């Protein structure tokens, strides 16, 4: 699928993408792709088609940091990737990395999530 042009008057969406390991983040940054669990696919695809842009903020579980952020560059397809070697992942989609840098959660403690009891974003 081609990435649609940004749509004006549409919301911008943000998602925290948790990875079980840093190797998955490295693969994503090198290849410009990502894959998530099937339970997340419908939510991300809907956001992709109904938003002007979808930003994905990546973090490895237990790291205490964000590893960077990217723009969702395509809808999630049916094709799976062997890069992650896990049967638990769904289809692959394109991501355009904007920043590849480790940022400690403490630098984002002023950000609160109103859809999660206004808890800190981490």
pLDDT in tens, 20-73: 889 999 999 999 999 998 889 999 999 999 999 999 999 998 888 889 999 999
For residue 24, being part of any structural domain is answered with yes
5 in a structural domain: no
Q: How far, rounded to the nearest angstrom, does the alpha carbon of residue 50 sit from its chain's CA centroid? A: 16
Report the pLDDT value the prediction gives residue 111, as an integer from 0 to 100.
67
b/e code 44-57 from CB counts within 10 Å (16+ = b): bbebbeebebbebb
Range of the domain at 28: 12-120
Within a domain: residue 33?
A: yes
Residues 69/98, Cβ–Cβ less than 8 Å: yes
Q: Flag whether pLDDT at 1 surpasses 50.
A: no
In a domain, 2, yes or no: no
CATH number at residue 101: 3.10.590.10
Residue 115 pLDDT > 90: no
Residue 96 lies in a domain: yes
In-domain check, residue 17: yes
Q: What is the pLDDT of residue 54?
A: 95
Q: In the chain, what percentage of residues exceed pLDDT 90?
A: 39
Number of domains in the chain: 1
Residues 6 or more apart from 89 whose CB is under 8 A from it?
35, 36, 37, 80, 81
Query: Exposed/middle/buried for 91, CB within 10 Å: 0-12, 13-18, 19+?
Result: middle
- Domain assignment present for residue 6? The answer is no
């Amino acid at each position: 699928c081609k990435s649609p042009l940004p749509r004006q008057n549409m919301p911008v969406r943000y998602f925290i993408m948790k990875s079980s390991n840093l190797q998955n983040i490295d693969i994503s940054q090198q290849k410009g792709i990502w894959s998530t669990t099937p339970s997340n696919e419908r939510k991300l695809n809907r956001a992709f088609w109904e938003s002007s842009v979808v930003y994905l903020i990546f973090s490895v579980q237990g790291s205490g940091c964000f590893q960077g952020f990217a723009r969702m560059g395509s809808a999630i397809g049916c094709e799976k990737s062997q890069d992650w070697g896990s049967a638990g992942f769904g289809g692959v989609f394109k991501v355009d990395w904007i920043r590849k840098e480790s940022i400690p959660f403490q630098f984002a403690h002023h950000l609160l999530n109103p859809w999660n009891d206004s808890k800190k974003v981490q």
